[in-house]
Structure 1
């Protein structure tokens, strides 16, 4: 699906590891996507964007961010953990593709990932294909 923040294969792998039904995870990711996309401009202003391409933007946010989002969306701890893990796996896949996996793994020791789908367009006139933004 174009514009989805998390690739289908990542959802399948994450669902297999998570204590959430595989059919439930895509719905949870979609709910989170709607919430995150509504705040895209705030993410761009407040957080480090570590990746942007035609499909998604990836940000590093403070630890505990997913707990707050999960509470806002009335997710159980398992559901929140599964969605967070899907975003983490997506960022690591981006890292493997862009030869930055080690950098992302290190960053994930102290921060959480947020991937926001761009609906097939970068949306801000920024450079696609892995361009980064050092934040504010």
Structure 2
């Protein structure tokens, strides 16, 4: 039986929170074994837990704020828009990617694709 929409929403909300306030290990814990990550779409697809952990490890120690803007959930999948601001020195990098995720029966993420482009979707203030 597929994970409920409520369970998927909980995982999406946890994901957004952990990307901003958690550790890479906490983010990776939301992924199922064998999951894939393509961030941004068009980049190499990460296919091992080690690759995914290394990817999210880049967030450790950064000063970030995240917020979920909008989410659509159905059929064991979610598409959502969230905002992420990262402070580096006296600059703040802000973007709002659209992530599309699929989930297993337990509500763990089996695939994630992030739709954004650094040239057009990121602002620096």
Normalising by structure 1, report the TM-score: 0.30
More helix by proportion, 1 or 2? Answer: 1
| Structure (1/2) with the larger strand percentage | 2
Higher relative contact order (CA 8 A, sep 6+): 1
Q: TM-score, normalised by structure 2?
A: 0.32
